[in-house]
Structure 1
Amino acid sequence: MENKNAKKHRRVLTRQSKQQADKSSKQTVEQCVDDVAKLDDLGEILDPVTLDAIMSHFRTSLESSFAHKSQKKDEVEPFFVLLDPESIQNYLEKAWDLDRFVLDNSFLYLLSLDPQLHRTDFKTLIFFKDGRLIKTRENSNNVMRSFFELIGFSYDFIRGISTRVNGKEGHCVPYIFGRYSFLPLSGPTRRQSSWINLSKVQHYRALKGEKGVEIHCENQHVFQLPVRPQFFADKVKQAGQTVHRQEHLLRNVLKNFDYVDGRKEERENNLLGNAFHAPTDRISLISMEDYIRIFQFSFAETALKHPSLRDNPVTDEALHLLRENLYEDLPHLRNAPR
């Protein structure tokens, strides 16, 4: 039989174990170690069965505490943004007020705020994949323009390429460059616009009565957009075609540069490979955007020098216009033969 001291100590330890379970979210690892040391001191008083039962209960409570804490940290409440302005007010109150920040590709929806409609002096509200919310007095176009500078290509540059590839002017042309895919919901070259990160959209559906489109993004985030379903469907199709063309171009480039599945084949005893380490200061000054524009000029110049246009008096004038008006600021073009 257990003596009175053993029973007393068991009641005390049981009560302490329950208190530990109630306060588990505040308990530190150091406190846990101290409690275990106390139990070791009482090993001579308690019988092994009782001590094992108390330790088992203590261990289970501690594991449950850490599991609950870890699960709560990882949980993100999904956004569900409706068309009505009242839905936005709730998110405006929760958002961080930041005037200086760096936008990254994890944003889902960059909303251009209407001062009268949303009753706020903030101009932009940004929803992120991880549940972050940022509101800023910065114009939405300025926010995206700064982001495009980080990517390396402006919206006008990407829009110009898409226009030439598609053969016609487009309204709200998607910004597609590799893994970056964004859709402006109104003309971004003329006024402030909202943007959707198409690379984070999983599927969408048209709302009844053509009142808008509901898009479903990663992490179960849902946004209702005030755009016509046909407009959104056309832009998704256009963006998909652009992605396909870019991937086709990339595959050809990788093939021509001896890349296979994104990995370069090693070349042994290669003269040019060794010469790569020679001084290249002049070439390194050319930005990727200028390099692409040099390609554009080269293609146009080659086309104008086609035999069918060789005797056309307009050819020389066209080449002159290209050099003096469209590509005069290109590096090394001034030294090129005319």
Structure 2
Amino acid sequence: MFIDRVTLEISAGNGGNGLVSWRREKYIPKGGPWGGNGGPGGSVFIEADVQIPSLDPYRHKRIIRAESGGSGGPNNRQGKKGKDLVLKVPCGTLIKDADTGDIIADLTHDKERFELCRGGKGGLGNFFFRTPTNRAPNYATPGKKGSIRKVEFELKLIADVGLVGFPNAGKSTLMSSLAHIRVKTAPYPFTTLKPNIGFITLEDNSRIYLADIPGIIEGAHENRGLGIEFLRHIERTKLLIILLDASGIDGRTPFADYQVLQNELSSYNEDLSKRPALIVLNKCDTDESVENIRDFVKEFSKAYPDREEKFLVISAVTGEGLEALVYEIREIIKKEI
């Protein structure tokens, strides 16, 4: 299971208590106060790590606590400092207040670190309170409590391009062809049950990252199919590829699919429907595709007369049109940087 959201109660360590102690050594009859301070509690840091793909390490955790500081010792010994706790999360993780939903931090870069909970200060031993007028203080202070926060980790994958389409539109096949990674493909809907991420390597060895999310169907914003839960993973993208099935094998037309996808995107987030997008008609290697593509262009021009849209026709299986698609992706990404 792909875990991209967890709720946790995280607390820093408490500070150790100060100690009341007296110096008792031979030949020092009036040794005075000798109790040490308590050690500070450990703090909790959240660190982004590019090697971690999901929030799965926190799947079965609900409460996480850092180490508390040790109590002060005799002979004015400082208590042991509580060990800091570093929680590693995937790049692109939002940290939210679980009660208010406010964003506390957004970790997008590898090794980026944020202090979430600060450890409590150690208490003061009676040695600290000695003065010329108070030579025998018989008191110490307890350690401070570490801070506690109830937070939600929410993962939003970081990619340049997001693939959007109906189930069986060929997103996984296209992902495999462009990014050269093994993605499950099959001739039935919803083969993609979790987001996949890969990259296109360009001539200068730079990379364009792609995110493939599960297929969207009509009514996804009302939680039909797999819902729109995974749409958060394309919120950070600079470009969307609207992949349409030109074969019409499922009894739908490419234009009807396009309208549904646009409606679902805007129902989830209005900004997504306005993001730069490439309309790509897939499965051009089928007999039915020629007529369906022609009809799509006519219907699109009639419905959106003010839009001068460029349509790309490809076959993710045979590789036809993929070179032109990569070129268009590269040019748009360059403009958006």
TM-score by length of 1: 0.25
Structure holding more strand per residue: 2
User: Between Structure 1 and Structure 2, which shows a larger proportion of helix residues?
Assistant: 1
TM norm structure 2: 0.25
Relative contact order, higher structure (CA 8 A, sep 6+): 2
